[in-house]
Amino acid sequence: MNLSLPDPRRVLVASTIALWLALPASLRADAETLPRASASISIAGLITDPRIDEISGLAPSRRREDLWWVHNDSGNPASIHAITGAGALVAEFTVEGVRNRDWEDLASFELDGRPFLLIADIGDNGGVRATMQLILVEEPAIGDPTHATVAPEWVLEARWPDGPRDAEAVAVDPVSRTIYLLAKRRVPAQLFALPLEPPATPDEVRTIRQIGTLPGIPQPTQAEIASSPEIGRWLAQPTGMDRRADGSFVVITYRDAYLFLARPGDDAAATLRRSPRRLGLPPMPQAEAVAFSPDGRVILATSEKLPAPIVRARLGPGAIPRR
C-alpha cells in the first residue's frame, strides 16, 4: 500500500482489500480459475463528484488524450461528462431531444475522420421495453462554457429478435460499421450485432441479430450462490465492454474484467467464443464501465456509487495490440 496516497485514496485501497477478503473463499477461488492477462493494475484516481455518482458508461476521448467520457445510469439527466484519467470532472454536455431512460454503456470511435460517441440506452431491468435507443453524437470540443448542449447526429430505435431483454454492454467496429451488444441474464451471455447506420426513415425500428455467445466467463456455482445470495448470483453478468482496433474485446462483470484476444482472421463472434484472460481487478462497489485507451495498451474501469475508483490496467507482453 502506498502510504503517500491522499487520504480518500488510502481509504479506498483499504476498503477494497476488506471487500475482497470479505467475499466467501469459494467466490474468490472461482474468480481465479482463468489465467491472468499480462497487466499492471493500479488505482489511477477516485471519482467523488456527486454529478457523476452512477457511472454506467466509459469511453476515451478521440480529441484529447487526457480525457475520458462517462454518463450516468437511469433516472439521471441526459448528459455526457468529460473527466480526467484521475476522475476530475472537466465538462458536461446535455444531449438534446432525448432522455436517459436507462443509459448503460458508451463507445467512442472515428468515422470518416470525425470523432463520435455512441450512447446505448439499452437497459431493461424489468424486461418490458419494446424498443431501445442507440444515440450517436459527434464528440464535443471542450471549451467555454464547460456546461453546454450537443445535438444527436441520429437516434436509432432497435429491438431484440425475440422479445425484451436487459443489456448493459456495447462496442463498435467503425471499419465494418457494426454495433455489438451483449445481453444479460442469459447463460452464456449472448452477442448481438446491427449495422452502424442511421435509420432509413424516422419511424424505422431495426431488429438486431444474434451472432454468438460468450461461454468463457466463469459462472457462479449453486454453492457460491447459496453462500452469498446477494453477490454470487450476479458475479458473471456482463455490465460493459469495449473493442480495440485489432478486434480484441474487454468485457467487465461484477467480479472482474476479461480480455478476449483476437487472432488473425477472427470475427467478433470467434474472438468472444474463446476462453478469455482475466485482468484481476480489485473489487468495486458496482463495476459497470470499462474501455480501452485509443492505442489499446491501457484498460480503464470504474463503478457506480461514490467514491468510485478508477482502476487502470497497463497491458504487457501478449496482451498489447500487434503492430
Residue 124 lies in a domain: yes
- So what's the pLDDT on residue 170? 98
Query: pLDDT class for 24, splitting at 50, 70, 90?
Result: very low
Residue 6 has pLDDT above 70, yes or no: no
Query: Which residue, 105, 102, 50, 52, is CA-closest to 74?
Result: 102
User: 80 with 95: CB under 8 angstroms?
Assistant: yes
Mean pLDDT of 204-209: 97
The count of other CB atoms within 10 Å of the CB of residue 196 is: 21
Q: Which residues lie closer than 8 Å to 145 by C-beta, 6 or more apart?
A: none
The count of other CB atoms within 10 Å of the CB of residue 307 is: 18
Residue 263 lies in a domain: yes
The set of cell numbers assigned to 278 is 482475466
- Rounded (5°) CA angle 298-315-193: 65
- So what's the pLDDT on residue 28? 42
Residue 320 lies in a domain: no
Query: pLDDT class for 32, splitting at 50, 70, 90?
Result: low
Cα separation, 209 vs 44, whole angstroms = 38
Mean pLDDT of 193-209: 97
Cα separation, 313 vs 44, whole angstroms = 9
Residues 81-138: tens digit of each pLDDT: 999 999 999 999 999 999 999 999 999 999 999 999 999 999 998 889 999 999 999 9
Residue 144 sits in a domain whose CATH number is 2.120.10
Can you give the residue range of the structural domain that contains 147? 7-315
Residue 323 lies in a domain: no
Cα separation, 278 vs 35, whole angstroms = 6
Q: Which residues lie closer than 8 Å to 166 by C-beta, 6 or more apart?
A: 123, 124, 125, 127, 183, 184, 185
Residues 273-320: tens digit of each pLDDT: 999 999 999 989 899 999 999 999 999 999 999 999 999 999 999 999
Residue 122 lies in a domain: yes
Number of domains in the chain: 1
Helix H segments across the chain?
7-22, 25-30, 222-227, 229-232, 268-273
